[in-house]
Chain A
Amino acid sequence: MTALLLGLLLAATDPCTAPVPVGAGDPREADVYVRVGDAERARGNLGAAREAYRAALTRAPGSVEARRGLEAVCAPVVDPVQTAADALEAGDSEGALRALARARGHGNDRAVDLLEGIAHYQLGQDTSAVPLLESARSDPAMAESASFFLGLIALRRGDGDRASRLFDQAGRAVGLEDAARQLARTAQQEGHVVLSVATELVYDTNVALRPDGAPLTVPGPDGSAGLSVMALVRPWGTPGPYLRVEGQLSKQFTLDQLDLLGGAAALGFRLPGPIGSLTGEYAYSYQAVDWRGYLADQRVFLGGSLLTGMALWGFAYAAHFESYRWSELEDLSGVRQVLELDAGLLLGAGVRITGGYAGTWDAARVENLSYLEHGPILELVWSTGKWTLGARGAMAWRTYLAPDPAYSGTTREDTRYFATTWVDLGLCAQWSVRGTVRLLRTDSNIPDLNSTEWIFIGSLTWTGAVL
């Protein structure tokens, strides 16, 4: 009953369904009301147009023009802008562009520019997107959103400086602050020449991988201080080729024989697209331990990602051609290949969960040091504002290919566990601090090889585009 009364009440107050009172006013004025109704309808003011047509019908109940006008303004309206916004939300950029094709000329052209610009951006058509987004940026109500997407385009082109400025502008809009802040940090890492310097303090409970229960005379815990420098040169921005040069120094506090000095150079090509990216790279690295040449590694890498809806699919393959320089380790030299396949879900609110599977085939010079390893990976990352929290867990089953004469002819089989958690705080666009805790545990069928290692790392990093 209440619903019926409510329905009748709503019908009575709805100008489209409420009965038109007849007989009031001068019938000769009906035409004037119809003209006013037509004018208001043309300007998009449907409420006033309804009032005018109803007033005309009050004066001239038989007016066909007034009746038609009222029916027209009361017909359900399909708002092309809303349709386009819904299509964009659903990831249908082509559908959004189709809807927007008939949306102009109704006093909201800047909003149409913004949505069309976003649709073109999502389709990877940056050249079409830029003028539309620039046009939308001229409207103060849309300036921040347009700046945000112009920043993404600048980022995609490798113009980190411009991207950074645009994200700074976009950060003024409520709702875009967090994303803009994170992207401003990313933008600082985009540019033709990007430099990154990181310092870290490390405490490792088992730096030499001492087996469980080993005598205390064997080296165990130690701390270290590290410095790493990385320069990335992208002459033509992204997409395009890049050169990366890295240097690393790690000085142990007590176990000097494990001091590490390393360097690497890589040449690669990154091909980003609207829904994915592909990276290919060749790298050469050289490490010295105890100030003696230890390992030379030539690496070929291919990796990519594909975004479909809220799922991010990824793959990474690397072949390492390793050459150990110490005579006692020469048999470890060989080819080590690693393949990882994963799928991530972008759950919104900065949360990403990734599950995957990784496999390694290490073909060393001798079979008893060669192995096949495989196992699952799970990672959870939460980014909010300046903070990023992450946790990654993995386990791997490693089986060596031949009995090891050093362990009574037993073929070694290990189960390895990895767990890492980290918290990252972006102090500003260039500076960030990170705290990391890692656990590595090996359970072997040869008990002497069981080991546990905890690593605690605190690091401070500066990353910025210098050109």
Chain B
Amino acid sequence: MSSFRPAVLALLVAAGTAVPPSESHLVAGAEAFRAEAYEKALVEFRVAEALGSSEASWYAAASLLKLGRAEDAIEAFVVADRSNRSAGDALLEVYRGQACYAAQLFLCADRWFDSAGSRAGPRLALQLKALRTAIRDALQTGQLEPAIDRFLDRAGELQATRPALAFAFAEEAAALASRSPTRHRQAEATTLASRLSAPPQRGSR
């Protein structure tokens, strides 16, 4: 959790300075998150989100991860990324990588750990490096094709109801297919991932 913004917000709220209505919920969510009251944190971040805070979506995603709902967290991170990419920071990227790792989307996890590692302090960078090594070991060539099939099946099942989560599965399948010696179902995975990558615009046909 990014500690800087909620701390400043807390001071502003305490001082009675005029801040957007969502900010007090962002602060309440951050406090609950720190107190490990993740359900309360999730609710406050969702309320902040409903009141217009786009960065609250990132923190809601982190709360979902802490609640053990990895797939919901992945979905929420994708949605947050689409609404406000700049709000993510190194720690949120670590959470995002952890969500991917928990759902066995190893290449997704590797990507976010890599990104976070370049911005993290030396201690966290070392931990991320160890995690990436574990991921490399877990990705054995012989197991790629069943994994690609599994993720494409999941993406197919979810594309109508949860397109953001389906996108994460399709993207993982495409990334794995590019590593597969036979390029197993690569075209299919890439096409599906690109189709799901942009949410349908309102009014578009």
Q: A residues within 8 Å of B by Cβ?
A: 26, 29, 32-33, 35-37, 39-40, 43, 45, 47-48, 50-52, 55, 107, 138, 140
Contact = CB atoms under 8 A, between A and B. Distances in A.
Contacts of A51: 39-40, 42-43
A424 B128 CA distance: 50
Contact of B42 (A33, A48, A107): A48
B46 A45 contact: no
Contact of B69 (A45, A52, A55): A45
Contact of B43 (A40, A43, A107): A40
A114 to B, nearest CB: 15
A52 B150 contact: no
B68 to A, nearest CB: 10
A36 B43 contact: yes
B104 to A, nearest CB: 6
Contacts of B47: 29, 32-33, 36, 52, 55
A60 to B, nearest CB: 14
A43 B72 contact: yes
Nearest to B50: A32
B50 to A, nearest CB: 5
A26 B21 CA distance: 10
Interface string B96-115: 00000000100000000000
A237 to B, nearest CB: 26
23 contacts: A26-B21, A29-B47, A29-B51, A32-B47, A33-B43, A35-B50, A36-B46, A36-B50, A39-B46, A40-B43, A43-B72, A45-B39, A45-B42, A45-B69, A47-B67, A48-B39, A48-B42, A48-B43, A50-B39, A51-B43, A55-B47, A138-B150, A138-B154
Q: Which of B39, B50, B71, B149 has the most C-beta atoms of chain A within 10 angstroms of its own C-beta? A: B39
B188 interface: no
Given A43-B72, A48-B43, A32 B153 contact: no
Contacts of B71: 107
B50 A52 contact: no
Contacts of A47: 39, 67
Nearest to A33: B47
Q: Which of B42, B71, B72, B149 has the most C-beta atoms of chain A within 10 angstroms of its own C-beta? A: B42
Contacts of B42: 40, 45, 48, 51
A308 B104 CA distance: 41
B105 to A, nearest CB: 12
Contacts of A39: 46
Given A32-B51, A138-B153, A140-B104, A52 B43 contact: yes
A55 B149 CA distance: 44
Given A32-B51, A43-B72, A55 B43 contact: yes
Contacts of A36: 43, 46-47, 50
B101 to A, nearest CB: 13
A47 to B, nearest CB: 4
A55 B40 CA distance: 9
